[in-house]
Structure 1
């Protein structure tokens, strides 16, 4: 059974994984600009004398978990289309680690309302996921045909193989 706290942790993990994905310069949409590489103005920058930056790229399992958590955002509902968008924004901004003040400015509500919407969204996701798990675990009973039942009644099945 999934709890809202586990949902919150998975969203935080997904936000961190998304931040760690490689996004090299020039991989986005190209606007106005030039196709030439940047010119190096100082010799000390040309040979790698600046501080090295290390980036840990997420493994495929982390990316899969992130994609699953991003699909959970579709489970969040609301009264109107704008409320659904705002609720999803609250959940994702909180997962990225934004403060409540920033979230309230982005969504346009007070802190208590934002917290209540965030909590309700996490509970909704947990309830829907738990409901999906229950329906997927329910065994499907195999129906037997009428001929097999009739054969057992006649005693043919009790004899065994010839």
Structure 2
């Protein structure tokens, strides 16, 4: 059964891709690598200081594959449209997005909705030919 893409599903996939990108390991100089394994710890051992911000563990290979798929979707958008979609995926406030693009927050929302609809339409167009095959 082919998946029917909706604006909400596509927007959620963009949000998940932004979260995954944030969890990727930091880029370091070649040759300086930690050989220590990741150790499973209890919550008290892992997060002893409640006030400190802790970094999430690295994403799974499946999460990275889904993120890369979403990054291919943005190729149908113009550069400014890509920035708008990614800013919202990173949970920027509409007011901040509006300032970045020199428009009102409702105009930024409308543009985001249009851009997500463009991606959704492309995804649904790709899904239709396989549904017509017998």
Same fold (TM over 0.5): yes
- Write the distance in 2 (CA, Å) between the matches of 1:4 and 1:85: 20
Separation in structure 1 between the aligned mates of residue 117 and residue 5 of structure 2, nearest angstrom: 10
TM-score (norm 1): 0.62
1:107 aligns with 2:101: yes
Q: Flag structure 1 segments of 5+ consecutive residues without an equivalent.
A: 28-49, 77-83, 141-162
Higher RCO, Cα 8 Å, sep 6+: 2
Q: Which consecutive aligned stretches of 4+ in structure 1 deviate over 2 angstroms post-superposition?
A: 24-27, 50-55
Asked if 1 retains the 8 angstrom alpha-carbon contact of 2:98 and 2:104, the reply is: yes
Residue 8 of structure 2 aligns with which residue?
A: 5
Out of 21, 24, 34, the position equivalent to 1:21 is 24
- Alignment of 1:90 onto 2:84: yes
Cross-structure match for 1:131: 125
Alpha-carbon offset, residue 101 of structure 1: 1.5
Q: How many residues align?
A: 111
Q: Report the secondary structure of 1:58's partner residue.
A: coil
C-alpha spacing 1:100/1:54, structure 2 compared with 1 (3 Å): closer
Instruction: Using the TM superposition, give the Cα deviation of residue 54 of structure 1 relative to its aligned residue in structure 2, in angstroms.
Output: 5.3
User: What is the rounded CA distance, in whole Å, between the counterparts of 1:88 and 1:55 in structure 2?
Assistant: 26
Which structure would you say has the larger Rg? 1
What is the Cα-based RMSD across aligned positions, in Å?
A: 2.2
Q: Residues 54, 105 of structure 1: CA spacing in aligned structure 2 closer, same or farther, 3 A cutoff? A: closer
CA distance in 2, matches of 1:54, 1:104: 29
Shift of 1:55: 3.4
